Amino acid sequence: MADILPFKKPAKKKVANKSLCRHGFHKWVVAKDTTFDSKQGRLVTLYRCQRCGKTKIEAR
């Protein structure tokens, strides 16, 4: 008897909530408390997305 080959492709592993980040719906969490930026001369807050790891800086 010959080997039977499957016709369906194996299911891809779904990356949890990455599609939300691709569409701009990040889950921002404060990565550090307030820090001082010497170039801008003011306090800044560093935010990091909990799902994808992208960072954003917000000046106060």
Residue 1 has pLDDT above 80, yes or no: no
Mean pLDDT of the 36-59 span: 84
Percent of the chain with pLDDT over 90: 17
Mean pLDDT of the 45-49 span: 90
Mean pLDDT of the 39-52 span: 84
**Does residue 35 contact residue 49 with C-beta atoms inside 8 Å?**
no
pTM exceeds 0.85:
no
**Does residue 57 contact residue 39 with C-beta atoms inside 8 Å?**
no
| DSSP reduced 3-state for 59 | strand
| DSSP reduced 3-state for 39 | coil
- The single residue listed with the structure tokens 């990455």 is 18
